[in-house]
Amino acid sequence: MKTILTAAALLFVLPMTAQFTIDATVYSTRCSGSATGMVEITSTGASGAVTLLTNVDLTAMAAGTYTISAEDESGAQASVTFDILDHPATCGCTYPSAFNYEASAEVDNGSCVFSSDQSCLADIVPDGVVGTNDLLQLLVEFGIVCTD
Protein backbone atom coordinates (compact mmCIF):
# COMPACT_ATOMS: atom_id res chain seq x y z
CA MET A 1 0.00 0.00 0.00
CA LYS A 2 1.33 3.39 -1.04
CA THR A 3 0.72 6.62 0.89
CA ILE A 4 0.56 9.77 -1.16
CA LEU A 5 1.10 13.07 0.59
CA THR A 6 -0.39 16.10 -1.02
CA ALA A 7 0.66 19.71 -0.51
CA ALA A 8 -2.48 20.32 1.49
CA ALA A 9 -1.41 17.71 4.03
CA LEU A 10 1.85 19.56 4.72
CA LEU A 11 0.31 22.99 5.32
CA PHE A 12 0.78 24.32 8.82
CA VAL A 13 -1.43 27.08 10.16
CA LEU A 14 0.55 29.66 12.08
CA PRO A 15 -1.21 32.10 14.37
CA MET A 16 -1.28 35.65 13.04
CA THR A 17 0.61 38.21 15.08
CA ALA A 18 0.00 41.93 14.99
CA GLN A 19 2.52 43.97 13.09
CA PHE A 20 4.44 46.55 15.14
CA THR A 21 3.37 50.07 14.11
CA ILE A 22 3.57 53.55 15.59
CA ASP A 23 1.14 56.42 15.12
CA ALA A 24 1.48 60.16 15.71
CA THR A 25 -1.03 62.60 17.18
CA VAL A 26 0.24 65.98 16.03
CA TYR A 27 -0.32 69.46 17.51
CA SER A 28 0.60 72.58 15.49
CA THR A 29 2.74 75.37 16.90
CA ARG A 30 0.98 77.86 19.18
CA CYS A 31 2.27 80.82 17.19
CA SER A 32 4.18 81.64 14.04
CA GLY A 33 7.89 80.77 14.01
CA SER A 34 7.90 79.19 17.47
CA ALA A 35 9.03 75.73 18.58
CA THR A 36 5.77 75.01 20.41
CA GLY A 37 4.45 72.14 18.29
CA MET A 38 4.08 68.73 19.91
CA VAL A 39 3.55 65.09 18.96
CA GLU A 40 2.32 62.09 20.95
CA ILE A 41 3.59 58.71 19.72
CA THR A 42 1.56 55.55 20.36
CA SER A 43 2.32 51.98 19.34
CA THR A 44 0.36 48.86 18.49
CA GLY A 45 1.54 45.28 18.11
CA ALA A 46 4.76 45.86 20.06
CA SER A 47 6.55 43.06 21.83
CA GLY A 48 7.53 44.49 25.21
CA ALA A 49 8.69 48.05 25.80
CA VAL A 50 9.06 50.50 22.92
CA THR A 51 12.10 52.77 22.55
CA LEU A 52 11.90 55.89 20.40
CA LEU A 53 14.99 56.24 18.20
CA THR A 54 15.26 60.04 18.20
CA ASN A 55 16.90 62.89 20.02
CA VAL A 56 14.16 65.37 19.05
CA ASP A 57 12.24 66.97 21.93
CA LEU A 58 8.69 65.88 21.09
CA THR A 59 7.21 68.67 23.25
CA ALA A 60 9.03 71.64 21.63
CA MET A 61 8.94 71.22 17.86
CA ALA A 62 9.16 73.86 15.14
CA ALA A 63 7.01 73.64 12.03
CA GLY A 64 8.28 71.06 9.55
CA THR A 65 8.20 67.44 8.42
CA TYR A 66 9.53 64.80 10.82
CA THR A 67 10.09 61.05 10.73
CA ILE A 68 10.24 59.26 14.07
CA SER A 69 11.40 55.64 14.34
CA ALA A 70 10.91 53.21 17.22
CA GLU A 71 12.01 49.71 18.19
CA ASP A 72 10.34 47.16 20.43
CA GLU A 73 12.09 44.60 22.66
CA SER A 74 12.09 41.96 19.91
CA GLY A 75 14.05 44.30 17.62
CA ALA A 76 11.12 45.07 15.32
CA GLN A 77 11.23 48.62 14.01
CA ALA A 78 8.54 51.01 12.82
CA SER A 79 8.44 54.64 11.75
CA VAL A 80 5.92 57.39 11.16
CA THR A 81 6.20 60.62 9.17
CA PHE A 82 4.14 63.70 10.05
CA ASP A 83 3.98 67.47 9.61
CA ILE A 84 3.94 70.07 12.37
CA LEU A 85 1.98 73.05 11.03
CA ASP A 86 2.90 76.65 11.83
CA HIS A 87 -0.01 78.46 13.49
CA PRO A 88 -0.37 82.00 12.08
CA ALA A 89 -0.88 83.71 15.48
CA THR A 90 1.70 86.19 16.82
CA CYS A 91 3.36 85.34 20.15
CA GLY A 92 4.52 87.82 22.74
CA CYS A 93 3.71 89.33 26.10
CA THR A 94 -0.05 89.89 26.39
CA TYR A 95 -0.12 91.52 29.87
CA PRO A 96 -0.61 95.31 29.48
CA SER A 97 1.06 95.95 32.86
CA ALA A 98 4.34 94.31 31.74
CA PHE A 99 7.35 96.33 30.61
CA ASN A 100 7.54 94.36 27.35
CA TYR A 101 3.82 94.29 26.53
CA GLU A 102 3.16 93.68 22.82
CA ALA A 103 -0.19 95.00 21.64
CA SER A 104 -0.01 92.85 18.48
CA ALA A 105 0.55 89.60 20.41
CA GLU A 106 -2.33 87.14 20.22
CA VAL A 107 -0.78 84.31 22.30
CA ASP A 108 1.22 84.83 25.50
CA ASN A 109 4.64 83.19 25.30
CA GLY A 110 5.67 83.63 28.94
CA SER A 111 8.23 86.36 28.20
CA CYS A 112 6.54 89.14 30.20
CA VAL A 113 8.77 91.22 32.48
CA PHE A 114 7.17 92.93 35.45
CA SER A 115 8.33 95.44 38.01
CA SER A 116 10.33 94.02 40.89
CA ASP A 117 8.24 96.16 43.25
CA GLN A 118 6.51 93.51 45.35
CA SER A 119 3.65 95.67 46.61
CA CYS A 120 1.43 92.61 46.23
CA LEU A 121 3.20 89.92 48.28
CA ALA A 122 0.74 87.19 47.27
CA ASP A 123 1.86 87.56 43.64
CA ILE A 124 4.53 84.84 43.99
CA VAL A 125 4.80 84.39 40.23
CA PRO A 126 5.28 88.08 39.34
CA ASP A 127 2.73 88.40 36.56
CA GLY A 128 0.64 91.17 38.11
CA VAL A 129 -2.19 88.80 39.07
CA VAL A 130 -2.75 86.74 42.22
CA GLY A 131 -4.06 83.52 40.79
CA THR A 132 -3.68 79.79 40.31
CA ASN A 133 -0.02 80.01 39.27
CA ASP A 134 0.81 81.70 42.58
CA LEU A 135 -0.98 78.97 44.54
CA LEU A 136 0.78 76.22 42.58
CA GLN A 137 4.18 77.81 43.18
CA LEU A 138 3.41 78.06 46.90
CA LEU A 139 2.49 74.36 46.99
CA VAL A 140 5.72 73.43 45.17
CA GLU A 141 7.75 75.23 47.82
CA PHE A 142 5.57 74.30 50.80
CA GLY A 143 7.59 72.66 53.57
CA ILE A 144 11.01 73.87 52.41
CA VAL A 145 13.14 75.07 55.33
CA CYS A 146 14.43 78.58 54.61
CA THR A 147 17.92 79.43 55.86
CA ASP A 148 19.87 82.68 55.74
Q: Cα dist. 40→21, 43, 90 in Å?
A: 14, 10, 24
Nearest to 24 by CA among 43, 8, 7: 43
Nearest by Cα to 45 from 77, 69, 68: 77
What string of pLDDT tens digits covers the 148 residues of the chain? 554 544 444 455 555 557 999 999 999 998 888 888 999 999 999 999 999 999 999 999 999 999 999 999 999 999 999 999 998 888 889 988 888 899 999 888 888 887 765 567 677 777 778 888 878 877 877 777 776 5
Can you give the pLDDT at residue 5? 45
Short-list 95, 50, 57, CA closest to 73: 50
Q: Who contacts 126 (Cβ-Cβ below 8 Å, separation ≥6)?
A: 114, 115, 116, 118
- pLDDT value at position 148? 55
The pLDDT of residue 122 is 76
The answer to pTM > 0.75 is no
Beta-strand pair 91-92/107-108: parallel
pLDDT of residue 118: 58
Predicted pLDDT of residue 7: 46
